[in-house]
Structure 1
Amino acid sequence: MDYPLLNVLLTMMWFFLWVVWFMLLFRVIADIFHDDSMGGWAKAGWTIFAIILPFLGVLIYLIVRGKQMGEREIAWARGSEARYYAAAGGVTQPTDQADQLTRLAELKNHGDLTQEEYERAKAKVLV
């Protein structure tokens, strides 16, 4: 079969964009349902808008509510982490500065953090 290299690259690009689009759509729908500040009707409206007119709905959602998406994601992750530590009986979340600095030093020594990341995290703990 005759399928030039440029056509293969264009097909791969369109497939990649298609995957990215679905990831964005699912991310927006997940954000709609994770947002506790919205009522049921607002969630239903945004969901229907994102499903009926997906391109327009997602783009408008990102314009109108996109700035707070990261904040809601961080709050959801912190809540998930708190539930994990509450469920894990013997494991405690480090709250003391010394515990946090010890944990950061262990991560740096293990190679999970670079020197720059370690310094930034240490500065946040000490502030």
Structure 2
Amino acid sequence: MDPDFPLLSVFLYMLWFFCFTMWLFLMFTVITDVFRSHDLSGWGKAGWTVLIIVLPLIGLLAYLIVRGSSMHDRQARQVASQADMWRTEVRAAAGRPSAADELSRLADLRDHGVISTNEFEREKTKILA
């Protein structure tokens, strides 16, 4: 029997790597939440950041205990705000007619005698510019 247990070593290294990755993810999530919080002053944000960096375990646990219940609310507001901005941009882009649509509309107006050829050319240069 091999006394080194290489499979156990591989498992333990993978476990430590997973725990380290989760630790980094938690730290980045909490620090992002600190800076995303509009209810904290600049000094409050600085204090939490220093506490998290200098005493990571105590700082993270303290932040999660004191402010952890509102982390989800701040993230949900941020996601809703981004979704609203995206919807506004999509609606604005969908409401604008394309240059080809504008040119075909102008050509129809010219063909029906509503606008003159000079007006058509003037509007066409505005659209294509």
Q: TM-score, normalised by structure 1?
A: 0.67
Unaligned 5+ runs, structure 2? 96-129
Give the counterpart of 1:36 among 35, 38, 59: 38
Q: 2:28 and 2:60 mapped to 1: Cα distance?
A: 10
- After TM superposition, give the deviation of residue 87 of structure 1 in Å: 2.6
Q: 1:14 and 1:6 mapped to 2: Cα distance?
A: 12
- Count of aligned pairs: 91
Give runs of ≥4 in structure 1 deviating > 3 Å: none
Q: 1:39 and 1:91 mapped to 2: Cα distance?
A: 40
SS at match of 1:90: helix
Unaligned 5+ runs, structure 1? 93-127
Q: 1:35 and 1:91 mapped to 2: Cα distance?
A: 34
What is the match of residue 77 of structure 1? 79
Q: 2:36 and 2:68 mapped to 1: Cα distance?
A: 13
Quote the sequence identity (%): 41
What is the match of residue 25 of structure 2? 23
Q: TM-score, normalised by structure 2?
A: 0.66
- After TM superposition, give the deviation of residue 23 of structure 1 in Å: 0.1
The structure that has the greater radius of gyration is 2
Note the aligned Cα RMSD (angstroms): 1.6
Decide whether the 8 Å contact of 1:34 with 1:72 is kept in 2.
yes
Relative distance call for 1:3 and 1:91 in structure 2 (3 A) is farther
Q: 2:15 and 2:59 mapped to 1: Cα distance?
A: 23
What's the CA shift string for 1:36-66, capped at 9, x where partnerless? 1111110111011111111110111001100
